[in-house]
Amino acid sequence: MRLTGPLLLLLICFSKQSFADLFSATQHYQQKNYSLAHSEFLELSQFGNTDAMYNLAVMSLHGQGTTKSLPKAYAWFLLASDFGLMDAKQTAELVKQQYPDKQVLKDMYLALKLQYGFNVISEKFYPNSFNKSKLVLNKVRDHKPNYPEQAIKQGVEGWVWVEFDIDESGAVTDISLIAAHPKHIFSTELINAVSLWRYDTDIPIKSRSLTYHFTTFKGKQYKTAFQNQKKQYKQSISEHIDAAEKGNSEVQFYISQWLQSSEYNASQLLKYHWQDEQAAQSLLFASAKNSFPLAQYKLATSLLNNNIQDSDRKVAINWLRVAAQKNSLPALYRLGTLFADHNSPEYSPNRALNYFKQAAEQGHFRAIKEMCLLLKTMPNQQEALKQCLEAGLDIDNEHPTLLLLRAQTLSNKTLSMKYAKQALNAAKDRNWSTKAISAFIQRL
C-alpha cells in the first residue's frame, strides 16, 4: 500500500496572518519592530495572554515601543502573575525594590487592572465549563459520506466543519462550509451526505454545527507502513508542537481539531505530547486567546446552547464579537441570528440587520437569506428587501424561502402565484418542508 502520510498533510500551508498572535508579535520584537510588537502584545493582553503581558512589562522596563516606565513594568509583571505566571511576581518585586514611590506603583497596577485584571477578563472571556449540554436530536434518516477512493489509497485523513439549519419537517437546509482540512478533498462528500439527513423534530433549528472526521481503516498493512515511517512523522509532529508552544495560533487550532478524534494517526502521535483528556479544548482556548478568529468562533459556538440564563452565553457572544471584528463571516452571521431572534435576550433587529449586512456584502448566502426575512418584518424596507432578494436569487435562483418571499412581496396575484408555485416545486425537489408555501398558496 502506498502511504503518502497523514502527517505530511498535517503540515498545512499556513496562511499569511492578517492578525496578531504571540508568534508574530514575538517575531516583530526580535526584528526590533518594537512599536508593532507592543501593539500586538497589547491586543493579546485583552484576552489574558500571560506571555503578552510579561513582554509588555519587559518593553516598559526598557522603553521599547513605548515610554520607559518602571511603574508600568511593575503593573504588567504583577498582572501576568495574577494570571498564574509565577516568575512574573518575582520580577515585579525586583522592580518594586528599585522604585522609591510605592504608591505610584500601586496606582499604576490598579489603573491597568481595571481593563486587564483577571476578574475583568475572566468574566468576559473565560467559560465556566467547556462541556456544554447540547440539544439532542434523533436522526431518522442517515447517509454516510463517501470516503474518496484516492484518499483511502494514500492514507489521507482529515475533517470538515459545516453548519446547517433544520426545517420544521426535520430536513437539513442551507448547509455552509466553515472550514476543512485538507481543503477540497472531503468537503463535497460531506455536504452531499448531510443534505440527505433528516431529524426527528417539528421545530425549525438554526445553525446546527458539525465537525466530521474522516479517518482511514487501520488495517495491518497500513499500520506496518505507518510504523516504518514513524520517525519521519515524529519530526513533522515535533515541528508542529514547537510552533504551537511558540504561540502560532493557527497551528494551535489545527492541532486542537486533530486531537478531537483518537482515530487519526496524527492524533496518536500528538497525544504522546498532549496526554490530558482536555488537551483539544485547552488548545482551542489557547488559540482563541491568541487571536485566531476561527478558534474564537469555534469556542463561541461550542458554548452557545438553549439556556439563555447560562452565564457562558455572554462569554460566547463576547468571543463572537471579537471574531466579527476580524471580519469572520460566520461570526457576523451568528451574531445576526442572535439579535434577530424574538426569544433571545439580545433581541435587537437593527443590530441584527447591521451584522447581516456586513456578511451579506461579502456574499455570505445564509446572511443574505436571513437579512431578507428580517427586512420583511421591518417598516419602510421594501426597496432594501427587493435588493436583498435579487442578491440572494442571483446566488440560488431556486431557493424556496427566497421565492416565497418574492411571492409575498408582490401585489400582482398572478405573478405572486407564479413565484409561490416555483417555491413549492423547489421545496419538493429538495425534500424541504412545504407547509408555509402551501399555506400561502391557499390564501391567495
Average pLDDT in the 183-205 region?
A: 95
Residue 222 has pLDDT above 70, yes or no: no
- 219 and 276 belong to one structural domain: yes
pLDDT above 50 (res 2): no
What is residue 27's predicted lDDT score, i.e. its pLDDT?
94
How many C-beta atoms surround the C-beta of residue 46 within 10 A? Answer: 17
Res 157: pLDDT: 84
Lowest-confidence segment of 46-50, 223-227, 412-416 by average pLDDT: 223-227
Yes or no: say if 105 and 71 are a contact pair by the CB < 8 Å rule. yes
Residue 201 has pLDDT above 50, yes or no: yes
Q: Are residues 304 and 274 in the same domain?
A: no
What pLDDT is recorded for position 8?
A: 39
Give the residue with greater pLDDT, 127 vs 153: 127
Query: Is residue 418, in this structure, part of any structural domain at all?
Result: yes
* CB proximity list for 122: less than 8 A, separation 6 or greater: 48
pLDDT digits (tens, 9 = 90+) for 254-289: 989 988 877 776 677 777 788 888 889 999 999 999
Q: Is the pLDDT of residue 9 over 60?
A: no
- Please give the share of the chain, as a percent, with pLDDT higher than 70: 89
CB atoms within 10 A of CB 398: 14
Residues 210 and 348 in one domain: no
Please indicate, yes or no, whether residues 379 and 297 belong to a single structural domain of this protein.
yes
pLDDT tens across 157-192, in order?
889 999 999 999 999 999 999 999 988 899 999 999
- Which has the closest alpha carbon to 80: 101, 61, 102, 98? 61
Same domain, 57 and 159: no
What CATH number corresponds to the domain at position 412? 1.25.40.10
Residues 353, 431, single domain; the answer is yes
> What pLDDT does 151 receive?
83
Q: Are residues 214 and 260 in the same domain?
A: yes
What would the pLDDT profile of 70-99 be if each residue is shown by its tens digit? 999 999 999 999 999 989 999 999 999 999
pLDDT at 191 (0 to 100): 97
Calpha distance 362→19 (Å, rounded): 19
Which domain, by its residues, includes 335? 293-443
343 and 429 inside one domain: yes
Domain-embedded: residue 132: no
Do 250 and 151 share a structural domain? yes
Q: Looking at the domain assignment, is residue 2 inside a domain?
A: no
Among candidates 174, 80, 117, 159, which has minimal Cα distance to 396?
174
Number of domains in the chain: 3
Instruction: Report whether 9 contacts 184 (CB < 8 A).
Output: no
Query: Are residues 160 and 278 part of one domain?
Result: yes
Instruction: Look at residues 66, 94, 125 and tell me which one is the last residue of a structural domain.
Output: 125
Query: What is the predicted pLDDT for the residue at 115?
Result: 96
pTM: 0.90
What pLDDT does residue 395 have?
97
What CA–CA distance (Å, rounded) separates 406 from 394? 13
**In-domain check, residue 408:** yes
Asked whether residue 335 carries a pLDDT value surpassing 70, the answer given is: yes
Q: Which of 22-36, 232-246, 310-324 has the lowest mean pLDDT?
A: 232-246
On whether both 253 and 157 belong to a single domain, the answer is yes
Grid cell for residue 269:
502521535
**Structural domain includes residue 346:** yes
Which segment of 207-211, 233-237, 423-427 scores lowest on mean pLDDT? 233-237
Render pLDDT for 396-426 as a digit per residue (tens, 0 to 9).
999 999 999 999 999 999 999 999 999 999 9
Radius of gyration of the chain (CA): 26
Q: Is residue 67 part of a domain?
A: yes
Average pLDDT over residues 211-218: 79
